[in-house]
């Protein structure tokens, strides 16, 4: 077995054995959850520019980006968030941290022009909880009760794609998306002062997410610049209850259009920018409460400088910034935005046989008007292996 296969197997084992991911935001409680970006650390370091870069790469944003990969490849991204959140009107900040694998993707060349890709990326995060205190009159006495609502779940997207090198400068790709995942709700009540007298109660509900979608993308590589675009569409995202009590619900998945470009402004410096539009308001049409979802824009840009070397290896350094609208409203507040400054670097090993990219970002989302104010640090690293 080659080093590529050994390394890939180890990384996949690590990903699959990881603990269930925690939430990345209190805004996971809004709508269908908190929107996630299944992109690698290189893109993150450049302001979340996930398409429009010239090199063949594994991407869950534009399936055409894999065209030109000379050998089988595997990319896995690990992301850790440290957050401080505060609901509007709340006096105390809430600190928490989470770790997840937002993107895992593999590619296999199928002839001189085609590359087959498979990938698994996070779409929506639905991990969050709420607590409250109450008193219940039982046998003439008020009994103190603690309640907890816990949501554990996520929507992920399994993508199978084909990237094709159409012309020397033009790549295209198409893919099929299978949306999957589950959300497990539980509502529990305990009587901490009545242990052994009043037993705790807990109700659990499980929904499975199902959906089907399609994607297509293209990339044009000129000597000095690259432009790239992708469109993703899907049918309904259906929540199927696992018991006979719950009722099935469906939400229209959004049409998403991504565009990005990069330009080589010097021998070692590249500028990149991307923009995304997602029609999440379609999902909101099926919400019980109206006006809880909106169409959102996301934009980011960054710069990559490749003039540094470390241990005689290339050491690209990146800086970026991004801004994104979040699609779901928290409570009765205004829709929230997210903005962040990003940075990153990469290490190329073995002449490109393995690449390690690191990124860090400092951002904030929401605000008093949105009902939740959060700030966060996010660190991600991606390891890409090429089996040549």
Partner 1 sequence: MQRRILLSGLIAAALSAVAACSDETPTLSGDEAFPPGTTPVTREVLVPASQFLRVLGTYSGYTDASDAPFVEIAENYEGLYAHALTRFNGFPTSVTYRGANGQRTDSTFTYLASNLVARFDTLASTRERVTLSVYAAAESWDPGSATWELRADTNGVRTPWREPGGTRGALLAQAVRSPGGPDSVVFSIPAAAVRALSDSLSPGVIITSTAPGSRLRLTGLQLRAAVRPDSAAARDTTITTTVNSGAKAGLFTPDQPNPPAGAFAVGGIRSARTLLEVNTRQQVPACASGATCGTVPLSQVELNSVALVLRAVDVPNGFDLLGTVPLRLRRVSEPELGRFAPLGAVVSEEPAARFNGADSTVAVSITALSFASAVNADLPTAFALVSEGFGNAPSSFGVSFFRSDPLLRIVYTIRARRTLP
Contact set for partner 1, span 100-129 (CB under 8 A): 127-129
Spatial CA neighbour of 7 closest among 343, 349, 301: 349
Residue 287 touches partner 1, criterion: CB under 8 A:
yes
Minimum CB distance to partner 1 smaller for 203 or for 266 = 203
User: Out of 201, 308, 368, 369, which residue is the one contacting partner 1 (CB under 8 A)?
Assistant: 201
The residue written with tokens 């700030």 in the block is: 375
Ranges assigned E (strand) in 68-200: 73-87, 94-109, 114-125, 128-138, 141-167, 170-190
Residue 267 touches partner 1, criterion: CB under 8 A:
no
Residue 175 touches partner 1, criterion: CB under 8 A:
no
Q: In angstroms, what is the minimal distance from the CB of 74 to partner 1?
A: 12
The DSSP output letter for 370 is G
Minimum CB distance to partner 1 smaller for 10 or for 110 = 10
How many C-beta atoms lie closer than 10 Å to residue 269's C-beta?
A: 13
Residue 282 touches partner 1, criterion: CB under 8 A:
no
How many C-beta atoms lie closer than 10 Å to residue 22's C-beta?
A: 18
Minimum CB distance to partner 1 smaller for 29 or for 43 = 29
Binding to partner 1 (CB under 8 A): which residues in 211-250?
239, 245-246, 249
How many C-beta atoms lie closer than 10 Å to residue 313's C-beta?
A: 13
What would you measure as the largest C-alpha separation in the chain, in angstroms? 82
Binding to partner 1 (CB under 8 A): which residues in 37-76?
76
Residue 94 touches partner 1, criterion: CB under 8 A:
yes
Minimum CB distance to partner 1 smaller for 267 or for 312 = 312
Minimum CB distance to partner 1 smaller for 82 or for 265 = 82
User: Could you tell me how many residues of this chain bind partner 1 (CB under 8 A)?
Assistant: 80
- Asked if residue 239 lies in contact with residue 206, where contact means CB atoms within 8 angstroms, the answer is no
- 83 token code pair: 């957050």
Which region among 145-153, 211-219, 254-262, 315-323 touches partner 1 (by CB under 8 A)?
145-153
Which region among 42-50, 102-110, 269-277, 352-360 touches partner 1 (by CB under 8 A)?
352-360
Taking residues 298 to 327 in sequence order and writing x for each that binds partner 1 by CB under 8 A, - otherwise, the string is ------------------------------
Per DSSP, the chain holds a count of helices (H) and strands (E) of 3, 20
Residue 170 touches partner 1, criterion: CB under 8 A:
no
Distance CA 122, CA 79 (A): 11
* CA separation, residue 257 to residues 43, 277, 301, 348 (Å): 17, 5, 17, 31
Q: In angstroms, what is the minimal distance from the CB of 189 to partner 1?
A: 4
How many C-beta atoms lie closer than 10 Å to residue 181's C-beta?
A: 22
């Amino acid at each position: 077995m080659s080093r590529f296969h050994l390394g890939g197997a180890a990384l996949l084992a690590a990903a699959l054995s990881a603990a269930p991911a925690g939430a990345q935001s209190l805004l996971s409680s809004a709508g269908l959850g908190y929107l996630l970006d299944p992109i690698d650390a290189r893109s993150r370091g450049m302001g979340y520019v996930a398409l429009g870069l010239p090199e063949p790469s594994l991407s869950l944003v534009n399936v055409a980006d894999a065209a030109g990969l000379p050998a089988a490849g595997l990319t896995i991204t690990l992301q850790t968030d440290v957050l401080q959140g505060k609901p509007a009107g709340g006096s105390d900040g809430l600190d928490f941290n989470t770790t997840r694998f937002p993107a895992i993707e593999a590619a296999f060349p199928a002839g001189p022009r085609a590359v087959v890709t498979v990938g698994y990326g996070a779409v929506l995060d639905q991990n969050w909880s709420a607590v409250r205190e109450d008193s219940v009159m039982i046998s003439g006495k008020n009994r103190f009760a603690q309640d907890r609502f816990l949501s554990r779940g996520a929507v992920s997207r399994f993508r199978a794609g084909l990237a094709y090198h159409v012309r020397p400068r033009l790549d295209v790709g198409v893919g099929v998306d299978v949306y999957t995942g589950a959300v497990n709700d539980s509502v529990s009540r305990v009587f901490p002062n009545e242990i052994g007298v009043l037993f705790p109660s807990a109700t659990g509900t499980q929904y499975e997410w199902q959906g089907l979608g399609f994607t297509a993308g293209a990339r044009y590589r000129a000597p000095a610049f690259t432009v790239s675009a992708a469109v993703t569409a899907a049918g309904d995202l259906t929540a199927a209850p696992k018991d006979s009590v719950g009722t099935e619900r469906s939400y229209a998945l959004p049409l998403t259009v991504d565009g990005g470009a990069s330009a080589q402004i010097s021998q070692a410096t590249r500028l990149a920018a991307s923009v995304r539009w997602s029609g999440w308001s379609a999902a909101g049409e099926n919400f019980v409460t109206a006006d809880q979802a909106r169409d959102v824009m996301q934009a980011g840009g960054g710069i990559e400088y490749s003039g540094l070397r470390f241990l005689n290896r290339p050491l690209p350094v990146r800086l970026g910034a991004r801004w994104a609208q979040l699609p779901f409203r928290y409570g009765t507040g205004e829709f929230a935005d997210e903005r962040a400054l990003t940075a990153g670097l990469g290490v190329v090993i073995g002449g490109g046989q393995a690449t390690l990219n690191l990124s860090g970002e400092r951002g904030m989302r929401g605000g008093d008007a949105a009902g939740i104010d959060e700030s966060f640090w996010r660190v991600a690293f991606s390891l890409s292996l090429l089996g040549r």
